[in-house]
Chain A
């Protein structure tokens, strides 16, 4: 009988389900793609059902359902922190206790009820072990050190593991409330962005500034001689305040926080000098925290190298999605090779929980492989065609591969911005050519147009390129980051040629966050890039996630068409169909 394992992450943010059969990952998806609520934390009932449907199974066939963390250990941390921070935790205690006593403490029962499995089949990994497993067992190394860094799991905020044929061996951890992720999140909130959502924006904004607040930040986050770090907790309140992550002392140190939604005046020629100075201060703060994080991570991985004795490093946890930091780790760190899979956040925890149960506990044989993130749902072409017809969108069927790619390339070359929905959806936050918005990166105004008229988001945010593998020289990927090429998990300097020819995908500081696409991995997408290369000499496209600001990546055909209708996209390619902009009568209003 095949062994069916369902991994589940939920109840904090980015709920997901991942299905493995006899050690093979069959399907994985995030609940947000079904519910349309970004970072949806609720139990991933729809995602799990889709995974089972994909495999032709039902809930009765699940041999093990593995939750990605241990709720009782997490509750212990919350309760003891409330006690240790008495009386400052007065506001957070009732809120936390209500959430836990009324809901999260009964996770096993909720899982049994929601997924229809027997209680004795429900197991629990540890939060950081799930992350570590998702990085190591998805990676290309026989042996590696594994570093997990995020906000917090049960107790650990940073943990070190040694991965090898015998499994994952824990080597050490830094515990709550000292957390790299939470310092970065506190600064994210300080800069007026939503925590667990705006960290990318801080990273993007950092390129506009200089780290002139580094000295101040070195005082609130110290690097320790043991290879760890310590936060000065007088400046932070994540451990006792229910909603605010920093205290007035941080405000006294760094000046007033940026109001949410404040305009970014550095890109506005008509802005006043005062507004520009204020935006520059915000960018400098972002640059300072980015610089602090990079130095802290370098400090930590030097310890990891020494302690583990391994040559290669896998990184996981939300902090591992900091592509700018990953470049410095690859360039200046002691490891020969790095690997970061693109679902390094909590969604990947579902995958890791299932992998840990399969390989680490059941002892199934495992071998290094090339990770493919396209584990999610694909769209039924017949249903899509019906929907398009019913909604009255103009549509053209292009059943022949060459005709489809020629037409898409022609659209892009004429300056159109396209939605691109092909094959199975990606797991994790990165659109890697399956649920993407694409544009010709050569236009000087392309970035601004896609930001403000298509994505409806902040104008300072950068775009990343997809590049055909044979033109990898367009970017200066450090040798240690070679394994990150396919996943957009590292930012690196753009070549002079890319800077000159494709300004839309090069950030203000000359960096870019590439996805290198091979014909073997993704023949259709590679074919499109190749056509762009034939026409322009540059086998590259601007590739950004197919969503609007504040929304998850598109899941269904309706989501794709709704996005087309609500912004200035020119067309969407869904499988072999080219769907054009809808006539005004469809849009109403």
Chain B
């Protein structure tokens, strides 16, 4: 599984780093920024006062990494490059509060630690593959080296804390949490891919609909005239109007 993953990272990296290096760096920046949010939220939520400082330091690292990646993206892309709104929106979906709860609240402390461990270990592996395949320019490689040192600390402290938290139930509990997280990350990756395919397909369908169905209506449609107009007449009572979506 690990070899397959590394091969996939190497293969996709070949294209991604050659064709869209700034996009790659910006997406790393957003991921780090999102991780910082998740870690700060964990500082607020955890009941284990002895671990707060590690979460806090981890969050600060992630925030700093986001800045390094963002700066590097700017250097690679040049001053005129504009980040698309869609890329920005991507971060909103995956971090912060989802369904009213933070990642820590959704997972609980043990699975949260397992998540941190798995995500950080995956990142270290991913950066390693890029370096081994020689995909990075010198500036980006130097930036990654600065970050990698912190990432290794994140891997080791999260594993240590996960083991410590699972001490009472034995090593199997920690291994179980890591397995659950690996599976859920695989499932999320699959769902993300499916969603992207679905988005692409639905865009095509809607575009076809647009081209085929809308043109006749265009003959009758007009934009609103400028200037003051009378407010829409309201035949309903205020109470009835309040209950309506239209």
Where the two chains meet, the residues of B that have a C-beta atom closer than 8 Å to any C-beta of A are 37, 40-41, 43-44, 49-50, 52-53, 56-57, 59-61, 63-64, 74, 79-80, 82-86, 91-92, 95-97, 99-100, 150, 153, 199, 202-203, 206-207, 210-211, 214-215, 217-218, 221-232, 238-239, 242-246
19 contacts between A and B (CB under 8 A): A35-B37, A36-B40, A37-B91, A81-B223, A93-B206, A94-B210, A98-B202, A155-B232, A174-B229, A260-B82, A303-B228, A356-B242, A361-B242, A387-B44, A390-B50, A391-B56, A558-B40, A562-B56, A587-B60
Is B221 touching A84 in the complex (CB atoms < 8 A)? yes
B226 x A72 contact (CB < 8 A): no
For chain A, residues 43 to 96, give those with C-beta under 8 angstroms from any C-beta of chain B. Answer: 45-46, 49, 66, 70-73, 76, 80-87, 89-90, 93-95
Q: Do the beta carbons of A173 and B228 come within 8 Å of each other? A: yes
**Alpha-carbon separation in the docked complex, A167 to B241 (Å):** 15
Asked if B231 contacts A261 (CB within 8 A), the reply is no
Which of B49, B217, B243 touches A83 (beta carbons < 8 Å)? B217
Give min CB distance, B245 to chain A, whole Å.
Answer: 5
Q: A45-B99, A391-B52 are in contact. Are A125 and B242 (CB under 8 A)?
A: yes
Assess whether B226 is in contact with A231, with CB atoms less than 8 Å apart: yes
Contacts of A243 in B (CB 8 A): 84-86
Contact among A42, A226, A360 for B227, CB-based, below 8 A: A226
Asked if B100 contacts A66 (CB within 8 A), the reply is no
B30–chain A nearest beta-carbon distance, Å: 11
Closest residue of B by beta carbon distance from A115: B100
Given contacts A36-B37, A239-B223, A586-B56, contact A172 B150 (CB under 8 A): no
The 7 A-B residue pairs with the shortest CB-CB distance, nearest first, are A230-B226, A45-B100, A170-B231, A228-B227, A72-B246, A94-B206, A84-B221
Identity of the chain B residue whose Cβ is nearest the Cβ of A171 in the assembled complex? B231
Cα–Cα, bound, A83→B44 (Å): 49
Contacts of B56 in A (CB 8 A): 391, 558, 561-562, 565, 586
Contact indicator B97/A46 (Cβ below 8 Å): yes
Taking a contact as CB atoms under 8 Å apart, the answer to whether A586 and B57 are in contact is: yes
- Nearest Cβ on chain A to B197's Cβ, whole angstroms: 14
* B residues in contact with A390, CB < 8 Å: 49-50, 52-53
- B222, B228, B243: the one contacting A124 at CB < 8 Å is B243
Bound form: Cα–Cα A536–B238 in Å: 56
Whether the Cβ atoms of A172 and B230 lie closer than 8 Å is yes
Residues of B within 8 A of A95 (CB): 203
Q: Indicate whether A254 reaches chain B with its CB closer than 8 angstroms.
A: no
> Is A411 among interface residues, defined by CB-CB distance under 8 A?
no
Measured in the bound complex, the distance between the Cα atoms of B214 and A81 in whole Å is 11
- A36-B96, A226-B227, A558-B40 known; A93-B245 Cβ under 8 A: no
* Contact between chains at B224 and A175 (CB < 8 Å): yes
Find out whether the CB atom of A40 lies under 8 angstroms from the CB atom of B96.
yes
Instruction: Map CB proximity to B onto A93-121 as digits: 1 under 8 Å, 0 otherwise.
Output: 11101100000000110000010000010
Tell me if A98 and B199 are in contact (CB < 8 A).
yes
> Nearest Cβ distance between residue B80 and chain A, in whole angstroms?
5
Give A189-242 interface residues, CB cut-off 8 Å to B.
224, 226-231, 233, 239
Give the number of residue pairs across the A-B interface with Cβ within 8 Å. Answer: 189
A357 and B242 in contact (CB under 8 A), knowing A40-B96, A83-B217, A303-B228?
yes
Task: Give B50 Cβ to nearest chain A Cβ, in Å.
Answer: 8
Report yes or no: A84 in contact with B223, Cβ–Cβ below 8 A.
yes
With A84-B218, A558-B43 given, can you name 14 additional A-B contacts, CB distance below 8 Å?
A40-B96, A84-B222, A85-B223, A93-B210, A97-B206, A172-B230, A177-B223, A259-B80, A262-B79, A387-B43, A387-B52, A390-B50, A561-B56, A565-B60
Q: Which of B41, B99, B231 contacts A172 (CB 8 A)?
A: B231
Contact of A34 with B97 in the complex, beta carbons under 8 Å: yes
Q: A366 interface residue, CB < 8 Å from B?
A: no
Task: Provide the residues of chain B in CB contact with A562, threshold 8 Å.
Answer: 40, 56, 59-60, 63
Measured in the bound complex, the distance between the Cα atoms of B203 and A97 in whole Å is 9
Q: Output the least CB separation between B112 and chain A (Å).
A: 16
Inter-chain CA distance A445–B145, complex, in Å, is: 37
Is B214 a contact partner of A86 (Cβ separation < 8 A)? yes
Contacts of B95 in A (CB 8 A): 37
Question: Known: A243-B85, A361-B239. Contact between A35 and B222, CB under 8 A?
Answer: no
Determine the chain B residues whose CB is within 8 A of the CB of A40 once the complex forms.
Answer: 92, 96
In whole angstroms, how far apart are the Cα atoms of A557 and B150 in the complex?
25
Could you tell me if A589 and B64 are in contact, using CB atoms closer than 8 angstroms?
yes
Decide: A391 and B44 in contact? CB cutoff 8 A.
no
Query: Which residues in B have their C-beta under 8 angstroms from that of A230?
Result: 226-227
Complex formed: what's the CA distance from A556 to B43 in Å? 10
Residues facing B in A533-558 (CB within 8 A) are 556-558
- Of all chain B residues, the one with the shortest Cβ separation from A123 is B242
In the complex, the answer to whether B218 meets A86 with C-beta atoms within 8 Å is: yes
Question: What string of 1s and 0s marks CB contacts (under 8 Å) between A415-445 and chain B?
Answer: 0000000000000000000000000000000
A361 partner residues in chain B, CB cutoff 8 A: 238-239, 242
The answer for the CA separation of A387 and B79 in the assembled complex, in Å, is: 41
B96, A155: Cβ atoms closer than 8 Å: no
* Interchain CB contact under 8 A, A35 and B96: yes
Given contact pairs A45-B99, A390-B49, A390-B52, A94 touches B202 in the complex (Cβ within 8 A): yes
Query: Given A37-B92, A83-B217, A84-B223, does the pair A586, B53 have CB atoms closer than 8 Å?
Result: yes
Q: Which residues of B contact A587 (CB under 8 A)?
A: 57, 60
Is A259 touching B79 in the complex (CB atoms < 8 A)?
yes
Q: How far is the CA of A561 from the CA of B153 in the complex (A)?
A: 22
Specify which chain B residues have a CB less than 8 angstroms from the CB of A224 in the assembled complex. Answer: 226-227
Indicate whether A176 reaches chain B with its CB closer than 8 angstroms.
Answer: yes
Task: Evaluate contact between B150 and A588: CB separation under 8 angstroms.
Answer: yes
List the A side residues contacting B229 at CB < 8 Å. Answer: 172-175
Nearest-Cβ distance from residue B86 to partner chain A, whole angstroms: 8
Q: Are B96 and A37 in contact (CB under 8 A)?
A: yes
| Residue from the list B49, B96, B202, B224 in contact with A176, Cβ < 8 A | B224
Closest residue of A by beta carbon distance from B208: A94
Kindly state whether residue A406 has any CB partner on chain B within 8 Å: no
Q: How far is the CA of A414 from the CA of B145 in the complex (A)?
A: 40
Interface core residue of B41, B202, B246 (most chain A CB under 10 Å)? B246
Rounded to whole Å, the gap between the CB of B57 and the closest CB of chain A is 4
Contact with B along A12-43 (1 / 0, CB 8 A): 00000000000000000001001111001110
- How far apart are the CA atoms of A562 and B64 in the complex, in Å? 12
Say yes or no: is A499 at the interface (Cβ < 8 Å to chain B): no
B194 to A: closest C-beta gap in Å: 14
How far does the alpha carbon of A557 sit from the alpha carbon of B56 in the complex, in Å?
12
Q: Is the beta-carbon distance between A70 and B228 smaller than 8 angstroms?
A: no
